[in-house]
Copies of this chain bind each other. A is one copy, B any other.
Amino acid sequence: MIAEDLKRRAEDLWEKYVKHEFVERMRDDTLPVDSFKFYLVQDSLYVEEMVRSVIRAAASMPFDMAYEILSKIVLNRDKGMEVHGQLERELGITGKGKMTMTTYSYTRHLIYASTLGWPQFLAAWTPCMWGYSFIGKYVVATKNMYFKRWAEFYASDDYMERVSVILKSLDRFNGDASELSDLFKASVKYEIMFWQSALDNEPTI
């Protein structure tokens, strides 16, 4: 599987991402709720640009792939947005907020990748989507009810189905995985920076 190959090429970084201090602290319930709120605000801003990039990239996909990704992922976001929206309301998050340099940089990378072609875009998108299924399953054991509800969504079969669509699509790439490695790796690095940014309370632009 191409995604496995890409993950192997970034193995050390991958561990730093899916077992980041932010993740560990959600699991053992020592993460300050303000860091979680900070994360949710930046994540909403991130997801908005991510979805636009998926749609842009879909325009250059084989039609059956575009159809599956648009219908099963982009147009099927209700559950995820519902969990996100509920958490935001309960935690008193209002308004959109501004991006940090980390969120801005990561989303510019996705926008860029979305103009290169579908294999390039999928390689850049996979760390976020796939990584969260590992993280969800890991964090779901937490005692904190906010973090648990957040994790339950990413640990769900519903979510894993979406990830499978991406992994399966990526496998249709005929080239060598090494061509996609830097895009994948850059996203893993951005994911690490994304967690760190929430722990550090990074200023917005």
A101 to B, closest residue via Cβ: B189
Q: How many copies does the complex hold?
A: 2
Q: With A111-B112, A112-B111 in contact, is A104–B186 under 8 Å at CB?
A: yes
CA distance A190 to B189 in the complex (A): 17
| Residues on B with beta carbons closer than 8 Å to the beta carbon of A75 | none
Check A109 for interface membership: any CB of B closer than 8 A.
Answer: yes
| Residues on B with beta carbons closer than 8 Å to the beta carbon of A105 | 101, 105, 108-109
Contact of A101 among B112, B186, B205 (CB under 8 A): B186
A185 to B, closest residue via Cβ: B205
Contact of A112 among B108, B186, B189, B193 (CB under 8 A): B108
| Residues on B with beta carbons closer than 8 Å to the beta carbon of A109 | 104-105, 108
Check A182 for interface membership: any CB of B closer than 8 A.
Answer: yes
| Residues on B with beta carbons closer than 8 Å to the beta carbon of A112 | 108, 111-112
| Residues on B with beta carbons closer than 8 Å to the beta carbon of A205 | 182, 185-186, 189
| Residues on B with beta carbons closer than 8 Å to the beta carbon of A189 | 101, 205
| Residues on B with beta carbons closer than 8 Å to the beta carbon of A190 | 101
Q: List 14 A-B contacts (CB under 8 A).
A: A101-B105, A101-B186, A101-B189, A101-B193, A105-B105, A105-B108, A105-B109, A108-B108, A108-B112, A111-B112, A112-B112, A185-B205, A186-B205, A189-B205
